[in-house]
Structure 1
Amino acid sequence: MSIDITREFLDNLEEEILAGKKENYQEFINDSHPADIAEIVDKIDEEAAEILFRSLENELGAEVLMEIDEDLRAKFLEGYNGQEIASELIENLDSDDAADLINELPSDQRREVLDNIEDEQQALDIARLLIYPEGTAGSLMGTELIKVYDTWRVLQCVKEMRKQAEEIERVHAIYVVDASNKLLGTLSLKKLLTTSTKTPISEVYSSKVQYVEINTEAEEVANYMQKYDLVVVPVVDPIGHLVGRITIDDVVDFIRDEAKEDYNLASGLTDEVEEDDSILSITRARLPWLLIGLFGGLLAASVIGRYETDIEIIPQMAFFIPLIAAMGGNVGVQSSAIIVQGLANQSLSGGTITRLLKELGVATVNASILAATVIGSSLFLGYSMALALTVAVALFAVIIVAALIGTFVPLILNNYKVDPALATGPFITTLNDIIGLFLYFQIGRLILA
């Protein structure tokens, strides 16, 4: 059932929870979707949220825990010991979610949790998942899947699938492997239901199967699943053995986290911050880039200072400094944003030179139109033709240079395995400000000399 989560609803529920009126909401909560419960937990008072969470059955509570805010989840986990985390939470989660949860625990508690998992195979699967580097297919995958052997006949296949399905919440696909566990293909449910029970699986499975290698970058996995419109993709080791599967919800979570990280970089934040974080935490996240902006501003001021005499001779030049700085920053951010987006979804076509030439062409057209506009506007406002021409030529040059910087810097960062989103933030704006002001005054000296 879907819940209309209004402020009034949350206030009433919070009152009932804090008043201990469990009978008024328990049945309603247990019938709700974990995502709806997680939204409620995130939005109500922390004390009420923990009471509500603790009232949930273990299986439902484990699902809700993985949906709530990461900071709140950490606070809830502080109230559990290793044995409780293992029995009440981990054993009710898929292996990929369980591995993610254990990764969030303090290092000294991880071993305690693993040692307290009763199912040895589950503990082994989770331990293996913890080995894979973050941001790879191995870190995203789960080990819960249905697999059948190519030597089986349909009847045996159905019997074995029933046994496997008892341990799996959702069946996304049926994978066919050989005796060495090498992935051979997939088996459709339709074929399984419409084929004679005596038919060998080797005669009915499809060998056309999309898969990813365990060390494939997560971003590449996301693009791969998008390209082939996959809900689930099998994961193999370097020699083709089936080791797990990645579902679309795992990929969506990764994309969401990457988008947050890129947004933080573009906004000049070194860490992800929440509105309820402490003043010190928020300051620590914002200050580094603000300091870079400060030093960049001081450099820009020193550039202006070098041309103090020019400004004294022609004071009107100072009027156009904000225009030059703003246009350079805007064009640079536009160009870098397009490149970063293209790198993220692998939609950039052609080589570096081709991309630079294309951006140069776009910048030239825009610069020509804007330069002509600024000449007309300057003359209309009563400035001299020489000053209008100076501003126009400088604006043209600044736009071209800013577009090239906005294009080239993300490509360089990406080439050196640095997140190109870094180039869409204060860094690119500050750099273009400094270069733009230098070009403006140098062109002014040439034309107005």
Structure 2
Amino acid sequence: MTPFKLTDELLEEIQLLIEHQNDVDLRAKMKEFHYADVAEIVNELEVEEATYLIKLLDSEKTSDILTELDEDVREAILNNLSPKEIAGEIEELDTDDAADIVGELPKEIVQEVISEIEDREHAKDIVDLLRYDDNTAGGLMAKELVKVKENWTVTTCVKEMRAQAENVTRVHSIYVVDDDDKLKGRLSLKDLLTTSPKAHIKTVYIPKVDSVNVNEKPEEVAKIMSKYDLEAIPVIDEIGRLVGRITIDDIVDVIREEADKDYQMAAGISQDVEADDSIWELTRARLPWLVLGLFGGAAAAVIMGGFEEMFRQYTVLFLFTPLIAAMAGNVGVQSSAIIVQGLANDDIKGSIGSRLIKEMLLALLNGVILSALLLIFTWFWKGDFYTALAISVSLIAVIVVAGFIGTFTPLFLHKRGIDPAIATGPFITTSNDIFGILIYFMIAKLILGI
């Protein structure tokens, strides 16, 4: 299968079909593409064109298209649809995707859209999901699943499974509950097929099943599913009742969003933004860390101002200031990035003290190697051994301190319940610049006897 690629020619062809309202050819053209590819096309159309296309195609396909669209594009299209038309799209979606879209609608039309949904059980499930916070397992789960009662016979179980499976896109697991809907375990399809039709489910189900609470954070759910290689995981409420399931496609979205957020924080962007956002939104996201960098640079300048006399005697020290600052920042970011990654993957074991010692020993080894190379270079370049020694020894100290700061900061933030990803960007770079320059000049002053 050839990967889809949106070209200018294809986009122009579709726009012409829309302009001339050539519905027959337009439907035929869209039939060639996967709904995710159509979403890519819709993202590039004008709002009026996108709305026309969505209204033209069957809801069975456009409902999936809506879930793949950029949020701002989807919002613009939904604003052009009536509550009844929106309800038609919602009815074709699984409850988790439906709840996500309904949750984005203006509050004044949510009730109207819900009332237009013909499948009242589907509407009830959507309303139920809207009660949960987006940043919880409850806000992530879908209601569609297959569950059987432990006191059913195999014959009854198969009959009920057939009825339930009609509303489930993909059956990952069969869950077993008691009469109060409390999760008891899971059912193996093999055991079901090889057991007597008159046997009761409670005699064949597997009591061990991984589950998460409705209030669990999505990041924790992702860790559990990743650790145990689960395609789906059941969600239970506070008293152990089975209320939904989370599938791997939802977890992939969580992992991607978390990675995007961490990447932006590491780059010094304080909130979730995209390239297409307004200048004001992008400025608000970037400016705080730029202000921090400004004050950090000003602090470094003040520190350097206190060593003016040393500059006059040893101008070469000034030449190596950018190198010292850069090495401090690089080492700090490397150390913090490893720790943040380990915390995200739940790979950090042992005490903070042992982790700090390991990272500082690593920094010391790297510092000695780099400093030896710098000593040789500076000595041959300037012909002054003591100046070269002062710069090289300073570099070792700066690298060790930077490694300490880069390791300790994310661990400390994590212990305090603060996202450690904040420590991988300008925060670490700025703090290490300041400490690095201060250590550099103090050690140089000590060795050179100024």
1:335-384 deviations in Å (ceiling 9; x for gaps): 01001111111111212111111111110110110111110010121241
Shift of 1:104: 1.9
SS of structure 1 residue aligned to 2:91: helix
Q: 1:356 to 1:93 in 2, by over 3 A?
A: same
1:267-308 deviations in Å (ceiling 9; x for gaps): 111233333333223222222221111111111111111212
Which residue in 2 is equivalent to 1:10? 11
Match status 1:261 vs 2:253: no
C-alpha separation in 1, matches of 2:102 and 2:373: 60
Match status 1:241 vs 2:251: no
C-alpha separation in 1, matches of 2:164 and 2:440: 71
What TM-score does the superposition give when structure 2 sets the normalisation length?
Answer: 0.94
Contact kept? 2:333, 2:424, Cα under 8 Å: yes
Which residue in 1 is equivalent to 2:73? 72
1:183-211 deviations in Å (ceiling 9; x for gaps): 11111222323333222212222222121
Contact kept? 2:236, 2:244, Cα under 8 Å: yes
Which residue in 1 is equivalent to 2:199? 199
Contact kept? 1:5, 1:40, Cα under 8 Å: no
Shift of 1:47: 4.5
C-alpha separation in 2, matches of 1:51 and 1:81: 13
SS of structure 2 residue aligned to 1:92: coil
C-alpha separation in 2, matches of 1:36 and 1:2: 12
Which residue in 1 is equivalent to 2:225? 225
C-alpha separation in 1, matches of 2:139 and 2:383: 63
C-alpha separation in 2, matches of 1:84 and 1:12: 27
Shift of 1:20: 2.6
Which residue in 2 is equivalent to 1:283? 283
Give the letter for the 1:437 counterpart. Answer: I
C-alpha separation in 2, matches of 1:179 and 1:258: 38
C-alpha separation in 1, matches of 2:353 and 2:140: 35
Give the letter for the 2:73 counterpart. Answer: L
Give the letter for the 1:16 counterpart. Answer: L
Give the letter for the 1:25 counterpart. Answer: L
Which residue in 1 is equivalent to 2:295? 295
CA RMSD of aligned residues (A): 1.9
Task: Tell me which moved more, 23-32 or 136-145.
Answer: 23-32
C-alpha separation in 2, matches of 1:275 and 1:331: 29
C-alpha separation in 2, matches of 1:420 and 1:241: 34
1:230-288 deviations in Å (ceiling 9; x for gaps): 10111112332111101000100111111111111111112333333332232222222
What TM-score does the superposition give when structure 1 sets the normalisation length?
Answer: 0.95
SS of structure 2 residue aligned to 1:373: helix
C-alpha separation in 2, matches of 1:83 and 1:47: 19
Count of residues paired in the alignment: 448
SS of structure 2 residue aligned to 1:206: coil
Task: Tell me which moved more, 408-417 or 20-29.
Answer: 20-29
SS of structure 1 residue aligned to 2:320: helix
Which residue in 2 is equivalent to 1:174? 174
Shift of 1:44: 4.5
Contact kept? 2:328, 2:399, Cα under 8 Å: yes
Contact kept? 1:2, 1:33, Cα under 8 Å: no
Task: Tell me which moved more, 391-400 or 190-199.
Answer: 190-199
Q: 1:2 to 1:44 in 2, by over 3 A?
A: farther
Give the letter for the 2:104 counterpart. Answer: E
Which residue in 2 is equivalent to 1:443? 443
C-alpha separation in 2, matches of 1:305 and 1:122: 69
C-alpha separation in 1, matches of 2:93 and 2:320: 61
C-alpha separation in 2, matches of 1:59 and 1:50: 16
C-alpha separation in 2, matches of 1:380 and 1:54: 75
Which residue in 2 is equivalent to 1:412? 412
Give the letter for the 1:268 counterpart. Answer: G
C-alpha separation in 1, matches of 2:327 and 2:333: 10
Shift of 1:31: 4.9
1:208-230 deviations in Å (ceiling 9; x for gaps): 21212222221111111111111
Q: 1:36 to 1:115 in 2, by over 3 A?
A: same
C-alpha separation in 2, matches of 1:90 and 1:30: 21
SS of structure 1 residue aligned to 2:398: helix
Identity of aligned residues (%): 50
Which residue in 1 is equivalent to 2:393? 393
Summarize the alignment of residues 304-343 of structure 1 with structure 2, pairs less than 5 Å apart.
304-343=304-343
1:150-201 deviations in Å (ceiling 9; x for gaps): 1111111111112212222222211111111111111122232333322221
